[in-house]
Amino acid sequence: MSPALFRRLILRPLRRDRARTALTLASIALGIAVVIAIELSGNAATGSFQSSMETLVGKVDYEITANGGVDEQAIAKLTALPLNARFSPVIEQPVVVGVAGAVRPAATTLYGIDLIGAGSGSGGAADSDSTGFDPAKVETFAAVSDDLAARLHWKKGDAIELRGRERRRVFTIGRIVNGQSTGWVGVDIAAAQDLLGMRGKLDRIEVFAGAGDGDSLERAIRAAVPVSWDVETPGARSEENRRMLRAFRWNLRILSYISLLVGAFLIYNTIAVSVVRRRAEIGILRALGTSARGILLIFLGEAAMLGLLGSVLGIVLGRMLASALLRMISDTVNALFTTSAPGAIALSPEAVFLAILTGTGVAVVSALIPAREAARVAPAEAMRRAIVEHETRLHVKRDVVLASAAATVAVGLAQLGPIDGRPMAGYAATLFAVAAAALISPAFVTGSIRALRGTLKRLAGAAGLIAGRSLVASLARTSIIVTALATAIAMMVSVGVMVGSFRETVEVWLDNQLRADLYMRAQGSASAGVFPPLSAEVPKIAAGVPGVEQVDVLHAFEFRYEGTRATFGGGNMDVVRRRRFIRFLAGDADTILASLPGADRAIVTEPFSDKHHVRTGDVLKIPLGGREVALTVAGIYYDYSSDRGMVLVDRSTLLKYLPEQPVTNVAIYLKPGADSVSVRHELETRLADYPLMIAPNDVLRRGAVEVFDRTFAVTWALEAVAIVVAMLGAANSLLALVLDRRREIGLIRYLGADSGQVRSMILTEAGLLGLLAGVLGLALGMALSLVLIYVVNKQSFGWTIQFHPPLALLAGALALVWAVTVVAGLYPARFATRLQPAEVVHEE
């Protein structure tokens, strides 16, 4: 196609219809923006998982870890081996930084490393040549990240106080490390062990390999340490983190694709309208010698232009949206999955290219059917629209059969299990369900309008009669806009039902779980997998406070099981049995819990059971304290605190294998009639020396629900975008219908319709579209909610959710969407009332 033809046949029509072109571009741009934003913010939120210490100590080749901590004596054993490698002890724990004059101390991460050894020409930044490090002052030396220093207004030479479980120590800032995205403090390993009460214990041993065969080094290390210890590269840990987040990110991606899907419906509609409106032009072009292929290329070219321009706009918009979404997603990642510092949002050339390819590709694919229809039409038939609409009606029966088939396939797919841990069959089921809705839409529109015919005429007179008939007469286009709107509404309904059900399930679970009056934990990060230890004195002091009836403790820590991180906990099962209500998937709770004390038995959460295919009666082999312990699974219980999974034993069992394991959480039950506020005040007074957080039951409960609500904030944002895209499409399509029926509208004015009646007609059409889409969307949404609850969510995270649709919320949301659809008809209605009857009727 020559540039002149391209300008006249593709660009000029787009420029002529400015309003509709703008609406279509906006729809595509929003769809692409959402997809890009989710991808960019997801990448940034999951971070690089790069060790913050790499800047200080150099690149680590291997990490040696063990459940419950690594015995320090292993360093000596490893160093004695004839290996070309350096072994360095590391402690990584939450710690509280005392800030002079601050009402609330700040929590950060403490790294304890061998500062002397790291300065021995390792090439790391701790080399004394580069840092001014004085070995004589190793006990009080601290390096801090520039991120933390900026937040707390520290500079080199400042004295800072660090508070561990039982002790406080003052350090001097000897170095501020630049280019850090998280806050941390680095001190000498011995100082860290002293501060945290971890004598003889390390969190890991880092291995710096010299020149030589990496595989043989790894084999030698594995042979030298207990079998239950892990030896892995830092990259494996990052990979594990990414795997944990995969399900979460995939679910967000699928939600973002819904907006694109709605946009695809609308592009189909736009091109279909363009074909109808330019049918005379098609006839003339064919008569002048344009081939069918040429006609096809004109309309595909129009779609490609819209896709390209929309994608470019979408990239700009998406980059801005990513910044807004990053905080939401990062909060969720930290709360539910793993500690991660958000990285920078990186819009790479590859991402730009992919976005343009996606947007343009979706536009072209969406336009294929109407473009092919345009190419197939013979010049004479291009003048008669009635025949096309008649043919659409004839296909309705066939489409009903296809819709039934698609629905059957959807039901079948929903029965299948996960593929590679992902609910791919579940996602496919949702696509088939949407396809079924699209196929049933023409029959649904026709049948509904027929059923409503009398009512429309009675309630709205001529406007109602014409509105209903017009929608059926333009069935090919009407059914597409109903499907697009219904898809967006279905997404809103299904996610609303899923989240509402989940919230109700979590609230019931919280009611059963949170039975104590007060809860205590150490100050520090509340991220998933982080359990700051408490001093052993804390529960004892708490028990002595007047008004306290009982103190329950939990020892929790992160551990590895079959290469995946989970939580291991030891609690007082007698207290749990008497005070709390744990719901088990099967079996009597009392019997199960009573079997735990003094025995090598454990209960596991539903997500743990799902991930590791564990059943009641199975034996778990878990490395604890240097040996492998066999724990029989006594029961599986419902738990919604995290999808990482938890194994819970009686405290006596845990301390048998890990006697030094610190308490991490305390629950306090008050005597009947005791005043919670004054007991809390007394606790704060008696425990002032310990860095603690004390929360009453209702505050903790509220906080848990807030975390839940924040988790789903991003899904609400995505839904809003899908609805906006659908609304833009509704306005676009209504305007197209008005433009296409200019002559009719002029004629109706001749027959005696006033402006108000013309406006009513268009708004009634908009209202009917909204109503039909609402009904279809509600039905589709309820079906999708079942897939989300019982298939996608279950297979992604392992949680069982009880079905509790939030009916009042749904009704309100549907009413709002209907109202907005009517509002979308205002501009087309205004356009219609301004048409001059004489001009439009005599257009020939």
Q: What binding mask, one character per residue, do residues 725-764 give for another protein by CB under 8 A, x or -?
A: ------------------xx--xxxxxxxxx-x-------
Residue 841 Cβ, how far from another protein at the closest point, in Å? 7
Binding span for another protein by CB under 8 A among 220-228, 439-447, 594-602, 835-843: 835-843
Residue 460 Cβ, how far from another protein at the closest point, in Å? 10
Residue 479 Cβ, how far from another protein at the closest point, in Å? 15
Select 463 or 485, whichever has its Cβ closest to another protein.
463
Select 120 or 755, whichever has its Cβ closest to another protein.
755
DSSP 169-180: EEEEEEEEESS-
Select 761 or 824, whichever has its Cβ closest to another protein.
761
Side-chain half-sphere exposure of 708, counting CA atoms within 13 A: 20
Side-chain half-sphere exposure of 712, counting CA atoms within 13 A: 17
Structure tokens at 262: 């709605």
Side-chain half-sphere exposure of 328, counting CA atoms within 13 A: 22
Q: What is each CA distance from 166 to 402, 535, 557, 690, in whole angstroms? A: 70, 6, 19, 7
Q: What binding mask, one character per residue, do residues 227-266 give for another protein by CB under 8 A, x or -?
A: ----------------------------------------
CA distance 266 to 23: 10
Q: What binding mask, one character per residue, do residues 686-725 give for another protein by CB under 8 A, x or -?
A: ----------------------------------------
Q: What binding mask, one character per residue, do residues 342-381 give for another protein by CB under 8 A, x or -?
A: ----------------------------------------
Residue 445 Cβ, how far from another protein at the closest point, in Å? 13
Q: Confirm if 112 and 188 have CB atoms less than 8 A apart.
A: yes
Q: Confirm if 148 and 185 have CB atoms less than 8 A apart.
A: yes
* Angle between helices 385-414 and 755-787 in degrees, nearest 10: 20
CA distance 399 to 392: 10
- Backbone angles phi and psi of 812, in degrees to 5: -60, -45
Q: Are strands 168-177 and 141-145 parallel, antiparallel or unpaired?
A: parallel
CA distance 449 to 756: 23
Residue 755 Cβ, how far from another protein at the closest point, in Å? 7
Locate tokens 């000596």: which residue? 76
Select 601 or 749, whichever has its Cβ closest to another protein.
749
State which of residues 390, 621, 671, 681 lies at the interface with another protein (CB under 8 A): 390
Going 722 to 728 to 732 to 733, the CA torsion angle's sign is: positive
State which of residues 470, 479, 505, 764 lies at the interface with another protein (CB under 8 A): 470
Residue 526 CB partners (closer than 8 Å, separation 6+): 335
Residues 118-147 that bind another protein (CB under 8 A): none
CA distance 490 to 501: 16
Residue 387 Cβ, how far from another protein at the closest point, in Å? 8
Helix (H, G, I), strand (E, B) or coil at 378: coil
Select 626 or 746, whichever has its Cβ closest to another protein.
746
Select 380 or 838, whichever has its Cβ closest to another protein.
838
CA distance 61 to 205: 11
Select 226 or 461, whichever has its Cβ closest to another protein.
461
Select 51 or 764, whichever has its Cβ closest to another protein.
764
Q: What is each CA distance from 339 to 94, 244, 548, 797, in whole angstroms? A: 12, 12, 34, 18
Question: Amino acid identity of 367?
Answer: A
State which of residues 76, 80, 223, 386 lies at the interface with another protein (CB under 8 A): 386
* Residue 840 interacting with another protein (CB under 8 A): no
* Residue 387 interacting with another protein (CB under 8 A): yes
- Backbone angles phi and psi of 488, in degrees to 5: -65, -40
Select 129 or 844, whichever has its Cβ closest to another protein.
844
Select 478 or 664, whichever has its Cβ closest to another protein.
478
Residue 7 Cβ, how far from another protein at the closest point, in Å? 28
CA distance 687 to 681: 10
Residue 753 Cβ, how far from another protein at the closest point, in Å? 5
Residue 751 Cβ, how far from another protein at the closest point, in Å? 5
DSSP 70-117: EETHHHHHHHTSS-SEEEEEEEEEEEEEE-TT-SSPEEEEEEEE-HHH
* Residue 466 interacting with another protein (CB under 8 A): yes
Query: Interior CA angle at 151 toward 148 and 152, to 5°?
Result: 85
Residue 835 Cβ, how far from another protein at the closest point, in Å? 12
Binding span for another protein by CB under 8 A among 80-88, 242-250, 576-584, 834-842: 834-842
Residue 761 Cβ, how far from another protein at the closest point, in Å? 10
Q: Confirm if 122 and 208 have CB atoms less than 8 A apart.
A: yes
Burial letters for 777-786: b for 16+ Cβ neighbours within 10 Å, e otherwise?
A: bbbbbbbbbb
DSSP state, 834?
Answer: T
* Residue 599 interacting with another protein (CB under 8 A): no
Select 492 or 772, whichever has its Cβ closest to another protein.
772
How many angstroms separate the first and last alpha carbons of the chain? 30
Residue 730 Cβ, how far from another protein at the closest point, in Å? 20
Select 277 or 612, whichever has its Cβ closest to another protein.
277
Select 4 or 751, whichever has its Cβ closest to another protein.
751
Q: For residue 802, how many other CB atoms are within 10 A of its CB?
A: 12
Select 463 or 723, whichever has its Cβ closest to another protein.
463
Select 238 or 757, whichever has its Cβ closest to another protein.
757
State which of residues 355, 375, 473, 499 lies at the interface with another protein (CB under 8 A): 473
Q: What is each CA distance from 584 to 190, 341, 589, 605, in whole angstroms? A: 45, 36, 6, 9
Residue 269 Cβ, how far from another protein at the closest point, in Å? 19
Total number of residues that touch another protein (CB under 8 A): 28
Residue 477 Cβ, how far from another protein at the closest point, in Å? 13
- Backbone angles phi and psi of 211, in degrees to 5: -65, 140
CA distance 180 to 331: 19
Select 494 or 833, whichever has its Cβ closest to another protein.
833
Residue 744 Cβ, how far from another protein at the closest point, in Å? 6
Select 125 or 832, whichever has its Cβ closest to another protein.
832
Residue 746 Cβ, how far from another protein at the closest point, in Å? 9
* Residue 400 interacting with another protein (CB under 8 A): no
Select 319 or 743, whichever has its Cβ closest to another protein.
743
Q: What share of the chain is helix, strand, coil (3-state, %, to 5)?
A: 60, 15, 25
Q: What is each CA distance from 360 to 364, 562, 661, in whole angstroms? A: 6, 44, 58
Q: What binding mask, one character per residue, do residues 423-462 give for another protein by CB under 8 A, x or -?
A: ----------------------------------x---xx
Q: Which residues bind another protein (CB under 8 A)?
A: 386-387, 390, 457, 461-462, 465-466, 469-470, 472-473, 743-744, 747-755, 757, 837-838, 841, 844
